[in-house]
Amino acid sequence: MSGTHDDGVFDDEVSFNDEVSFDDEVSFNDEVSFDDEGFDTALLEEELRQAAAILDAVPAPLRQLAVEAYTLHDLDARIAELTFDSLVDAMPVRGAAEVPRMLTFRAGEVTVDVEVSGQGLMGQVLPPQPARIEVLGGPQPGVPLSADELGRFAGDVPPSGPFALRLRTGAEVVVTEWLRA
Amino acid sequence: MRTEAVPSTAYDDLPYTRGGDVDRADLGGLVQSAADGDAAAWKALVEGLSPLVWSVVRAHRLSDADAHEVYQTVWFRFAQHLGRIREPHKAGSWLASTARNECLKVLRNLRRLTPTDDPQLLDRVSEDRTPEQSVLDLEEAAAQSERVRRLWQEFDGLGERCRQLLRVLIASPPPSYQEVSAALGIAVGSIGPMRQRCLRRLRARLEAGEAI
C-alpha cells in the first residue's frame, strides 16, 4: 500500500474545477468551514458522521470485548516486543502459498521465536530454559503449553485472530506483544 | 517499538479546534487513571476512542473478519501497553497508528497469498453490509432515510483516497488531525485541503444524482 499515498487526491474519474489551489489558503484546522463557493463543508461532514453512526457503527460485541480487554493490563509482566515478523521483514516467497509466519519477540535478554502455520504453533525460548506457557486469544484464559529444558514448545492448534503468549520462566512473567496471527 | 511510531509532531503545539476537543482534552488523565486501576476510566477510553479505531479499520476496507480481528488486536495491545505509553495524551494517535499498521499487514498478507496483483481482491467490500436494511429499521421519516442512504452510497463511490480520508474524519467524536495523520500516514498539513476537496467532490456527486 505504500505507493497509494503518494499520488494526488484525484485518483478517480471526475476532474474537478481546480481553478483554486487550496494548499496554501485553507487553514488546516478548518476555522473557516465555508469555502469560496459558500459551501458548508462542516455541515456535510457532520451529516456524513451521522450516517456512519447509523450505517457503520462499531459492532456492540466488539466494543464490549474492548471493555473486557482491561483485564489484559498486567503491570507485573514484562512485555516482549516484536522484533521480527516475516510478514514485514522477510522477502516474499513467490509461489509458496503456505509459508509459516516467523515471529521473534524480545524482552531484555529473553528471546522467544515463534513459528505459526496451518498445523499449529511451535517455538523456542532463548536462552534455553523450561517455561510454562499460556497461548492467549483474548481476555479469557488461554491454552497451556510447556517448554522443555531446551526451551522448545509446540501446540497443534494454530492461533486464529489476535494472540499472545504468556511465559513463566522461574520467577519472571513475560508476555509477547499482541499480534494478529 | 514500531507501534509507537507516531508521525510528524510539527503541528502538535497548534490549537486543536475540531469538535472532539472536549472529549480528547483529558485523554492523558484517563490513560493514567486506567493504568492505576480505574476500570471506569478504561471504559471511558473505549467509549471515546472505539469509533476512531473502527473508522481506521473501515477506511482500509478489510473484510469483516479481518476488521474484527484487527480491532481486537489493537485494543488488546493498548491494554497491554497501558501505563507504558510514552505520551498518554496522544493515546488516540497511538491507537490510530497501531490500527493502521495492523491493517497494512493484513493487506500485505492478502497480496502475498494472492498470485495475481488483482486490485479487486485487495479491495474487498465487506460481505454483510446492508445499509438499506439498517436504514429500514430506523423510525425516521422515509425521506430522511433516503437521504442518509444516498449520502452513504455516494460516499462509498468516492475515489479510494477520498473515501479513506473521510471515513476516518467522520469518526465520532471527530478525531484530531494528529490522529487522522497517524491513521493514514499522511501529513497533518495536507488533511485540511484534502478534506475540503473530498467534501466538494461528495457534494458534486450528490447534486449530480439529484439532477437525474
- pLDDT given at position A22: 38
Q: Give me the sign of the Cα torsion angle B104, A176, A92, B111.
A: negative
- Name the residue among B103, B105, B111 with its Cα closest to residue B62: B103
The average pLDDT across B48-55 equals 97
Question: Phi and psi at residue B117, in whole multiples of 5°?
Answer: -100, 30
For residue B201, is pLDDT > 90? Answer: yes
Q: Is residue A62 part of a domain?
A: no
Selected residue with higher pLDDT from A44 and A17? A44
- With an 8 Å Cβ cutoff, are A79 and B84 in contact? yes
Which domain covers residue A46, as residue numbers?
A: 25-57
Q: Is B50 on the interface with A (CB under 8 A)?
A: yes
User: A21-26: long-range contacts (C-beta < 8 A, 24 or more apart)?
Assistant: A22/B192, A22/B193, A22/B196, A22/B197, A23/B190, A23/B193, A26/B192, A26/B193, A26/B196
Q: Report the number of distinct structural domains present in chain A.
A: 2
Q: Is residue A142 part of a domain?
A: yes
Per-residue pLDDT of A108-124, as tens digits, reads 999 999 999 989 999 99
Report the CATH number that the domain containing residue A84 is assigned in CATH.
2.60.40
Selected residue with higher pLDDT from B174 and A23? B174
One domain for residues A160 and A90? yes
Q: Which residues of A touch B198 (CB under 8 A)?
A: 9
Per-residue pLDDT of B2-12, as tens digits, reads 444 444 433 34
One domain for residues A45 and A117? no
One domain for residues A94 and A168? yes
CA B65/CA B57 separation, integer angstroms: 11
The Cα-based distances of B13 to A97, B127, B190 in angstroms read 48, 42, 17
- With an 8 Å Cβ cutoff, are B83 and A180 in contact? no
Per-residue pLDDT of B181-192, as tens digits, reads 999 999 999 999
- Complex ipTM: 0.79
- Contacts for B116 with CB less than 8 Å, ≥ 6 apart: none
One domain for residues A51 and A79? no
For residue A44, is pLDDT > 80? Answer: yes
One domain for residues A47 and A116? no
Read off the DSSP letter of residue A57. P
- Name the residue among B206, B175, B205 with its Cα closest to residue B191: B175
Residue B129 C-beta-side C-alpha neighbours within 13 Å = 21
Cβ-based neighbour number of residue A108 at 10 Å: 9
Q: Is residue A8 part of a domain?
A: no
> What type of residue sits at position B199?
L
For residue B19, is pLDDT > 50? Answer: no
CA A45/CA A55 separation, integer angstroms: 15
Nearest-Cα distance to chain A for B202, in Å, is 9
One domain for residues A138 and A166? yes
One domain for residues A97 and A40? no
The average pLDDT across B159-184 equals 96
Longest dimension (CA), chain A: 73
Q: Which of A11, A29, A39 to mutate to test the interface with B (most CBs of B within 10 A)?
A: A29
The predicted model scores a pTM of: 0.78
Q: Is residue A96 part of a domain?
A: yes
Per-residue pLDDT of A103-162, as tens digits, reads 999 999 999 999 999 899 999 999 999 999 999 999 999 999 999 999 999 999 888 899
For residue A28, is pLDDT > 80? Answer: no
One domain for residues A36 and A116? no
**Domain residues of chain B, as ranges?**
20-211
Q: Is A81 on the interface with B (CB under 8 A)?
A: yes
- pLDDT given at position A157: 85
One domain for residues A93 and A33? no
Residue B177: band (very low, low, confident or very high) from pLDDT cuts 50, 70, 90: very high
Cβ-based neighbour number of residue A38 at 10 Å: 6
The average pLDDT across A31-55 equals 79
For residue B126, is pLDDT > 50? Answer: no
Inter-chain contacts counted by CB atoms under 8 A, chains A and B: 213
For residue A60, is pLDDT > 60? Answer: yes
- pLDDT given at position B139: 55
For residue A20, is pLDDT > 50? Answer: no
Q: Is residue A80 part of a domain?
A: yes
Nearest to A48 among B69, B151, B177 (CB): B151
Cell for B60?
A: 482500509
- Name the residue among B7, B189, B26 with its Cα closest to residue A30: B189
